[in-house]
Amino acid sequence: MELIIDDTKQDVKGLIKPINLVKGNRKYLAVKAVRNSKTRLLDMTTEIKDDEFDSIKLLTFSDPEGKAVYWHTTAHVLAQAVKELFPDALLTIGPAIETGFYYDIDHDPFTPDNLKKIEEKMKEIIKKDYPITREEISPKQAKELFKDNPYKIEMINDIIRNTINENSINTDNTSNERINLSVYKQDDFYDLCRGPHLPSTGYIGAVKLTKVSGAYWHADARNKQLQRIYGISFPTAKQLRNYLNMLEEAARRDHRKIGKELDLFSFHEEGPGFPFWHPNGMIIYNSIINYYRSILRREGYYEVKGPIILNRNLWERSGHWEHYHDNMYFLKIDDVDYAVKPMNCPGHVLIYKTKVHSYKEFPIKMAEFGLVHRHELAGVLHGLFRVRAFTQDDAHVFCLPEQIETEIMKLIDLTFEIYSTFGFNDIHVELSTRPDDYMGDLALWNRAETALKAALNKKGIEYKINEGDGAFYGPKIDFHIRDCMGRSWQCGTIQLDFAMPETLDITYMGADGTTNHRPVMLHRAILGSIERFIGMLLEHYAGKLPLWLSPVQTIVIPVSENHIDYARHIYNALFKSGIRAELDDSSESVSKKIRNAQIKKINYMLVVGDKEIKDRTVNIRTRQNKIIGAMTFNDFVTKLNKEILTKSVESLL
């Protein structure tokens, strides 16, 4: 078996316990074990035989899986602290999330003072460095251990039921005793959990509880509302300080705040989760669409547009009615069931089926800026990041089986190109494989996963495998981009689908003259949601968008009333040149006008006074208050057009 520690590899023999190999070094948090490409996460205290896995890697906080174990353990410390301070509280679940952890608790609302006391109790538990141990117990023992907590009893019953179904175990009482459940213990505190966890509570360095909010059990508004306590933890206090500083910066960059300041969009009670785009916002929106359309034309896509409402029968055949039902909106027309589309793919299939296609036509590329609707609970709506209606930059590539690898590689290249245009170059890739709730033939799934891996390997792209996280109709490649604050956003996706061509029965005429050949579908979106992507851009650039995206690119500022005529002449000339401009002919002082323009994030300010009128020039400064100085109007427009045409993310002046 291969052992990997800090990228150093060595062979190990016999029975090992990973924690003994690192001699007390608390940098190592958990174990990633691989057998036949399947991954398991284990505790550092797990005894492992050398023939049990192909390789094991010791995880640190720099590994995403290590970070998740760290935060999940901190969630258990939070739960213990709550139980010690509030014995009547009922614990439910406490997972690690992308930004730390949370725990859902059935209790009266927690006050800021409560959170402070819980955090102090957590620090006590961490300081005491309780060993964290895993125990395997029977369902009967588990129910006795958690007899006073109906949420844990429900979870135990769910585990029993799922285990019976997955393993085809007889459902008599004695068979349940063959099922083992795992619990983790620290001091006298137990929690139901599959793990893994840190070896002891003292591994946690610094912790901060960040907020509390309401959350429904099972995310169902019909259930009781719980208290969700969020937190974050790091190995060092410095890392925690840096993170909290980042949160402060993120608050300053909040796209909802910027959207209001720049008059880009709004939300209203009459349509919660449905954004209203204002004129300035539509400029950004359309600038992105227009750029994207030029790329689509270059790449040979046909743009299409399908209806928003389609018959239930189609959604049943596509698999969405069964696998995506909870995320859809429904209505009746003439007593017939219809659904508002959550995705564009079935509509594109209908367009494909309007005629017989020859093998000579492939690949066939359809693109749509499709408005889709997905049901989201009110509690998770968040500006442009989580909405109920959004536009996908959606496309489907219908290709021959032998074209799969080539077309996937083209899509990968296109994805990186588009992200780079917007100034995103820190990108990591993940491959998500077959989920439990999948449709289609297993052999086709395996073939699809192999094709995606082959394309990534040929491009020399490093990627992480997410076992079981694919779409219900096919495996997928997901692209995550990192913004200027180090936050990761999942945007683009390439999904390989053998299933939908089968269920919706699409074919083509092959070289043999028969029409019983089946094409393959590649689903792809690069920006994902135009709305969400704009929110990301606003926060990444703190509202100071590149010139080609800015709603207002220039503003002309006359020094006094005597200079308004010349300022208006410059403004009109800018307008005729296609530059988005404003004229500030208010009675405010020049310094106040400049300040107002900077607040509005306008790229360039053109100040005109006596000297500019005499020399027929403009005096230029940037929103960063960099003074460019005097320039002729024609030179200025030439430079602006170059900056716009090249879509530069930096000022070229």
Q: If you search the block for the tokens 């100071």, which residue do you land on? A: 544
Among 104, 191, 393, 394, the active-site one is: 394
Q: Which of 253, 388, 410, 523 is catalytic?
A: 523
User: Is 141 tagged catalytic?
Assistant: no
Measured from the Cβ of residue 354, the count of other Cβ atoms closer than 10 Å reads 7
Q: What tokens does 394 get?
A: 């959606």
196 prior amide bond cis, ω within 30? yes
User: CB within 8 A of 258, min separation 6: which ones?
Assistant: 264, 538, 539, 542, 543
Place of tokens 């057009």: 641
404-421 helix and 442-458 helix, angle to the nearest 10 degrees: 50
Contact 470, 433 (CB under 8 A): yes
Catalytic one of 193, 345, 399, 491: 345
Task: Decide if 396 is catalytic.
Answer: yes
50: its two tokens: 């050398």
Given 186, 392, 495, 553, which residue is catalytic? 392
221 Cα distance to chain centroid:
24
Q: Is 178 a catalytic residue?
A: no
Following DSSP, what letter does each residue of 166-199 receive, concatenated? HHT---SHHHHTT--EEEEEETTEEEE------S
Q: Where are the beta strands (DSSP E) in 450-597?
A: 463-466, 476-482, 488-497, 520-529, 554-558, 581-583
CA 316, CA 191: separation in Å to the nearest integer?
40
Cα torsion 632, 636, 638, 639: sign:
positive
Residues 6 or more apart whose CB falls under 8 angstroms from that of 145 comprise 137, 183, 190
Instruction: Say whether 204 sits in a helix, a strand or coil.
Output: coil
Cα separations in angstroms, 48 against 21, 42, 45, 85, 199 = 12, 10, 9, 38, 16
Q: What is the DSSP letter of 202?
A: G
Measured between alpha carbons, how far is 7 from 18 in angstroms, rounded to an integer? 15
Residue 325 is among the residues annotated as catalytic for this protein: no
- 392 labelled catalytic: yes
3-state secondary structure 529-542: EHHHHHHHHHHHCC
Sheet hosting strand 463-466, strand order edge to edge: 302-303, 364-373, 389-399, 520-529, 488-497, 476-482, 427-432, 463-466
Confirm whether 345 is a catalytic residue.
yes
**Alpha helices in 253-389, H assignment, sequence order:** 255-261, 279-298, 312-318, 320-323, 345-352
Tracing tokens 């499709």 back to the chain, one arrives at 370
What's the 3-state SS for 359-380? HHHCCEEEEEEEEEECCCCHHH
Set 32, 253, 348, 396: catalytic member: 396
373 is catalytic: no
Contacts of 370 (CB under 8 A, 6+ apart): 305, 306, 341, 344, 347, 391, 392, 394
Residue written as token pair 């099922």: 179
Positions marked catalytic: 345, 374, 392, 394, 396, 476, 523
